Amino acid sequence: MLGKMCKADHITENQASGRFARICVEIDISNPLLGAITIEDRSIRMEYESLGSICFKCGWIGHNKDSCREGLVDLMPDETDIDRNSKNNTERENSTYGPWLLVSYGRQGNRNYKGRN
């Protein structure tokens, strides 16, 4: 479960757009963020805004990937460089977290849906 829904913007409430749903959700930050949720057998990618620093390695809020402590001792001493490179490439391809978690506004900036009727 994503969290407790607090509110939705006017367009989402009126189902005026079928492509996006913009909602305000109270999330439990003692757990990592969800990269996607499944609705009716479809995987829906999540985007977050106004969260501060997000770690794209572990999905937790409050630090970034450069200061992340996850996986500091995950390499075996007998692994070769080829094995490590292969492992890192696979991790990037299967990564749940990345810049796509953050809303990008493009040229128009943050659209304020308040007051639109």
Provide DSSP, 37-50. EEETTEEEE--B-S
Assess if residue 108 is contained within a domain: no
Beta bridge partners of 54: 61
Q: What is the DSSP string of 41-86?
A: TEEEE--B-S---B-TTT--BSS-GGG--TTTT---TT--HHHHHH
Assess if residue 113 is contained within a domain: no
Assess if residue 107 is contained within a domain: no
Residue 88 has pLDDT above 50, yes or no: no
Mean pLDDT of 87-100: 57
Locate 47 and state its tokens: 């985007």
Residue 43: C-alpha distances to residues 12, 36, 39, 46 (Å): 19, 6, 7, 9
Residue 115 has pLDDT above 50, yes or no: no
What residue type is assigned to position 73 of the chain? V
Specify the number of domains making up the chain: 1
> What percent of the chain is modeled with pLDDT above 90?
1
Assess if residue 117 is contained within a domain: no
Question: Quick one: pLDDT at residue 41?
Answer: 92
pLDDT tens by residue, 20-66? 777 888 888 888 888 888 889 988 888 888 777 888 888 888 888 88
Q: What is the mean pLDDT of the chain?
A: 70
Residue 86 has pLDDT above 60, yes or no: no
Question: Quick one: pLDDT at residue 93?
Answer: 41
**What is the phi/psi pair of residue 58, to 5°?**
-115, -15
Assess if residue 59 is contained within a domain: yes
3: left (phi over 0), alpha (psi -120 to 50) or beta: left
Mean pLDDT of 86-97: 51
Domain of residue 13: give its range.
4-101
